Structure 1
Amino acid sequence: MEIKMKVPKGFELEKAVCNHGFFMMAPNRWMPSTKTLVRPLRLRDQLSVTVSISQISPTSLLITIPDDNPISFSHCPYITDQVTRMLRLSPTEEARVKEFHRLHADAAKKGFGRLFRNPSLFEDLIKSLLLCSSSFQKTLEMAEGLCVLQKRLDVKEGLVRNAKRGRKKASDCDEESWGNFPSIEELALLDNKENLLRNNCKLGYRARWVMLLVQNVTKGKICLMDLEKLFDGNQLYPILRSFNGFGDFAASNAFMCMGFYDRVPCDTETIRHFKQVHGRIDCDHKNVWAMANERYDMYAPFQALAYWLEMVDYYEINLGKLSLLDRCRYKNVAGTSIDRSS
């Protein structure tokens, strides 16, 4: 099956995807040779289908679903809604891009303004946690571990199937054993959940944060759908900060994913950036937030976008275009930081 989607004038899939660490994290797969994004998406019944997203004209995307995954046309809106979210194709996001470009001439020239995110807020939140207190290589491995786990889930039995004998151990460049990113429903129904995440996926103490979020959602204490409908950042941010494990970095990263860009998600990578790029050798955990405000407030309310434009420029100067990197080199993108402050 093929689904065509209209995109705004000036939209480029490559630039809309390859601009934030999330595009490098499983189960997202960017194919440099064809400029195609491949990943599983959820259907109405929670089953997954792998899709390929490519740009076939300046105003059109093509979503391709393999013939061995036949789906009905009733599933198409679920697929296009997730693609719209990932690529920020809603009218609201398009208006934000245009407003940011009016403030930032270099961003407009480079076509930068859509930070890639995942198909669901839940995946964004969990991946924000995975970035905390971790090297980027370790973050990538944890995301891969969750996708390997999801492929082995037997939700009806509440267990994880054993890996097939003879299969080679998954590496950071092996995608054969990936499934989709686990859903709230899948994690909630498993027995011994926290230990599975801690041991099988190497999440460590983050396993408890993940399961507390899952429990709070399933018990109705947190409604992610309602959160996505909030248009008041002053109301939303304290809610994110109240989640277990969500310090200023994780909350600011999630905040940014939800379309609020006035809080720069500062961590040790930000400190490195200010020291190496801006010559602020006195930058540390105590003053990095103040330095970020000083540097990016001229672009309010899009400070985080201005920050990420600088980060992408830095990475591409040192490593080449992110869209052309081999997956095995993703672990080298972030600096040498190993303590992403939460």
Structure 2
Amino acid sequence: MRLNLSACPPFSLWAVVESHGWARLPPFAVDRTTGVIARIERLETGQVVELLIQEAVGGVTVEVRDQLAGSEREEVSRKVWWMLSLGEDLAPFYALAREEPKLAHVERRALGRMLRSPTVFEDLVKTLLTTNTTWAGSIRMAEALVSRLGDPLPTDPSRTAFPTPEQVAEATEEELRQMGLGYRAPFLAELARRVAEGELDLEGLKDNDRPTEEVRRTLLGIKGVGEYAAASLLMLLGRYDYLPMDTWARKMVSREWYDGRPVGREEVEAAFERWGRWKGLAYWFWDWSPWGERP
């Protein structure tokens, strides 16, 4: 089965894939020789399938080597549409970026979309796995969580889908610790329980009509989510009002504008304040090449 999905131009699948590190965490897998991004996905019916996504003229094609019912086809389309931000119109951001030499490359390379997971739950869990650790540690934790708790692909049981909140909630805190999650284990256990029991509606955070401040308060009210994690999640939700500020951001701003002198939150905020609701994207795709790679 093959689906054809259109994207708001300009669009580059690889710009989305390389926007940050999610493509290197399971259940995503990238084949750069064929230009395919694959993902093992559990559908609402319980069927586990492999999605093979490839760039096409004006958007992407999605191939699934299984027979799908009409509702399952709609679900796959909806999930890929969200993951790749196919409907996001970045024209206002590009118009501003044209006036800034450090962002002159973004429209030409169709930068601006952030690869995200089909669910806010998965993005939140992965964000927790990236805090206070190395990238190698994040990969190990994600691999352990997905391989031990996710449903297997019938044709290749070694490949598994991201676990549902219910599946994570069934694991004990000790079992989560044994997966290497450390101090995150109780946070993840409580998060999964709240979502599984309907106490916390994470998918409702996708509603663009909700004020950003309200969404941010909800995120900050989740144990384990601090200001950096909340800002990162807001960007994945298409809200760029806040900067995911860490030591790397302070170091780059220090070198770019302050001759290497130490700076704090105020200086970083001031550097991107003029970008308004686009400041998160301006920071993320700024040309930091004189000082090192972007975050």
Q: TM-score, normalised by structure 1?
A: 0.76
- Of structures 1 and 2, the one scoring higher in RCO (CA 8 A, sep 6+) is 1
- Identity between Structure 1 and Structure 2 (%): 25
| Equivalent in the alignment of 1:268 | 247
Amino acid at match of 2:217: P
Pairing partner for 2:200 from 222, 225, 232: 222
Pairing partner for 2:174 from 195, 198, 204: 195
Pairing partner for 2:183 from 185, 205, 208: 205
Instruction: Give the distance between the partners of 1:28 and 1:178, measured in 2 at CA.
Output: 10
Deviation digits for residues 151-190 of structure 1, max 9, x if unmatched?
478xxxxxxxxxxxxxxxxxxxxx98441111112112x2
| Equivalent in the alignment of 1:15 | 15
| Equivalent in the alignment of 1:326 | none
Of the structure 1 ranges 225-234 and 248-257, higher mean CA displacement relative to structure 2 is found in: 225-234
Deviation digits for residues 268-295 of structure 1, max 9, x if unmatched?
33234334555553436xx1x2222111
Distance 1:221 1:61, change over 3 A: same
- The alignment yields a C-alpha RMSD, in angstroms, of 2.5
TM-aligned CA deviation for residue 237 of structure 1: 0.8
Amino acid at match of 1:102: A
| Equivalent in the alignment of 1:254 | 233
Helix, strand or coil for the counterpart of 2:277?
A: coil
| Equivalent in the alignment of 1:295 | 271
Structure 1 stretches of 4+ moved >6 Å: none
Amino acid at match of 1:111: A
- Unpaired runs of 5+ in structure 1? 154-174, 319-332, 335-342
Instruction: Give the distance between the partners of 1:241 and 1:40, measured in 2 at CA.
Output: 30
Deviation digits for residues 13-40 of structure 1, max 9, x if unmatched?
1112211122222221122112211111
TM-aligned CA deviation for residue 314 of structure 1: 3.9
Contact 2:150 2:167 in 1 (8 A): no
Q: TM-score, normalised by structure 2?
A: 0.88
Contact 2:250 2:268 in 1 (8 A): no
- Unpaired runs of 5+ in structure 2? 99-103
Helix, strand or coil for the counterpart of 1:61?
A: strand
| Equivalent in the alignment of 1:129 | 128
Amino acid at match of 1:194: E
Distance 1:198 1:15, change over 3 A: same
